[in-house]
Amino acid sequence: LIYSKGDCNLNSKRIISVVGTRHITHYGADICSNLVSSIYDEIGDDVVIVSGLAYGVDVAAHKAALKAGLPTVAVLAHGLDMIYPAAHRQVAADIIHSNGAIVTEYGCDTRIHRSNFLSRNRIIAALSDCTIVVESAEKGGALVTAKIAQGYGRDVFAYPGRIGDEYSEGCNLLIKKNVAALITSPSDIADLMGWKRADRKPIEKSIFIELTVDEQH
């Protein structure tokens, strides 16, 4: 049983989970922002961004979706009667008021427990057609989500990082073990998923010069 608040269509044609570390770096923040903002141009507006409303990559993905005008879904690890972390209450409200939704399997008055956050990761994976790991250490919830998504037969993608960077080790490991395909842009997602690209034909300027009456003579 899933509880939800908001008007988001959870049966949209393209649903993408964006997950990663809570300790997002400038590199990860740039990736997250560019990824989500470019999805509309590359794939179209029938896209929903899913994440977990946590610190770091999660909330960055939600904010980027809101800025780009894409609906976003936050999967919570507690009931709908509260928002954790409390610092993200306004983001949650903005999600609901922007054709998004907050969803959870937990009823009201459910106490926050560490295990709930790992458990909710399977919902993030299950809601989506594909899961993208932006940044992650060698161990973390994002890697758990990626492996669950793989187990569900979903596609998993990861952005590579520099060797030795703590919060790129997880992504590099997923790629090395063939859990995730390496991507560098939203166009890679469209190609690997077999999704038709958005039709963004530029407006052609007239090749004919309009002449005045005097010029025509």
The three-class DSSP label of residue 209 is coil
Give the pLDDT confidence of 121-155 residue by residue, as tens digits: 999 999 999 999 999 999 999 999 999 999 999 99
Q: Which residues pair with 201 in a beta bridge?
A: none
> Does residue 112 register a pLDDT over 90?
no
Q: At what angle do helices 169-176 and 141-151 cross, to 10 degrees?
A: 20
- Global pTM value: 0.88
Going 7 to 107 to 114 to 147, the CA torsion angle's sign is: negative
How many whole angstroms separate alpha carbon 133 and alpha carbon 124? 12
Task: Please confirm whether the linkage preceding 186 is cis (ω < 30° from 0).
Answer: no
Answer yes or no: is pLDDT of 207 > 90.
no
Confidence of residue 13 (pLDDT cuts 50, 70, 90): confident
What are the tokens at 12?
């949209």
27 residue type, one letter: Y
Q: Above pLDDT 90, what percent of the chain?
A: 76
Q: How many CB atoms lie within 10 A of CB 162?
A: 8
Question: How many angstroms separate the most distant Cα atoms in the chain?
Answer: 84
CA–CA distances in Å: residue 16 to residues 19, 127, 212: 10, 8, 54
Q: What is the pLDDT of residues 160-180, one digit of tens each?
A: 999 999 999 999 999 999 999
**Is the link from the previous residue into 160 a cis peptide, with omega within 30 of 0?**
no
